[in-house]
């Protein structure tokens, strides 16, 4: 009869096997975490671009439909006036788009020319509600160009709107030229 070898594996063979397995598992975890970080970075970038484009589309829509605009750089507020085509009155509709630097959000207020004072008082005091939220992650908002505002004597219909966004360590900048397409009316 032949004797069988029932010796098994030695402690050293077990340690070497565990060390090799640990190295392979660590490499797999490192590879997967790098992929996950890349996905999160891409997702943050896409979120910023989508949010910036959504805000810019809304601003463009209101500007295109407006009859006059005014930008208050001190309050970071863009006012877009809408008139029925006759001389502007205090009952004409308007939108006020405001960037609140303290919470990094953009807000949209629908009001009338007569109600502008109360909305601007709320803006200056920092009073905000979620009902007026237009966009998030905004780090900067500027409007430049030739603005129509009879009170300042500026003339022209082109403006450049710039947004600077930041989310999860990523930054995105967007600037767009816009034109009023309706007949310009005086601000009441």
Helix (H) or strand (E) holding 93: strand 93-100
CB-neighbour burial class of residue 8 (10 A; exposed 0-12, middle 13-18, buried 19+):
exposed
**pTM for the structure as a whole:** 0.74
Q: What is the mean pLDDT of residues 3-20?
A: 82
pLDDT tens-digit readout, 83-110: 776 655 678 888 999 999 888 999 999 9
Q: Where are the beta strands (DSSP E) in 30-76?
A: 68-72
Q: What are phi and psi of 149, to 5 degrees?
A: -155, 100
Pairing mode, strands 93-100 and 77-81 = antiparallel
Residues 110 and 119 sit within 8 Å (Cβ to Cβ): no
Closest CA to 163 of 135, 132, 124: 135
pLDDT tens-digit readout, 97-153: 999 988 899 999 998 878 888 888 887 787 777 778 899 999 999 998 765 554 544
């Amino acid at each position: 009869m032949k004797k069988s070898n029932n010796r098994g594996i030695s402690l050293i063979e077990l340690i070497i096997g565990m060390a090799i397995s640990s190295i392979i598992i660590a490499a797999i975890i490192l590879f997967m975490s790098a992929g996950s970080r890349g996905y999160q970075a891409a997702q943050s970038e896409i979120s910023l671009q989508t949010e910036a484009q959504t805000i810019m589309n809304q601003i463009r829509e209101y500007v295109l439909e407006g009859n006059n605009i005014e930008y208050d750089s001190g309050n970071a507020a863009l006012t877009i006036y809408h008139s029925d085509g006759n001389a502007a009155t205090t009952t004409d509709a308007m939108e006020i788009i405001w960037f609140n630097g303290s919470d990094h959000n953009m807000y949209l207020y629908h009001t009338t020319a007569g109600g502008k004072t109360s909305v601007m008082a709320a803006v200056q005091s920092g009073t905000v509600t979620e009902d007026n939220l237009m966009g998030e992650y905004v780090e900067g908002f500027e409007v430049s160009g030739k603005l129509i505002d009879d009170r300042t004597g500026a003339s022209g219909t082109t403006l450049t709107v710039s947004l600077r966004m930041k989310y999860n360590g990523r930054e995105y900048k967007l600037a767009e030229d816009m034109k009023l397409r309706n007949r310009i009316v005086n601000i009441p």
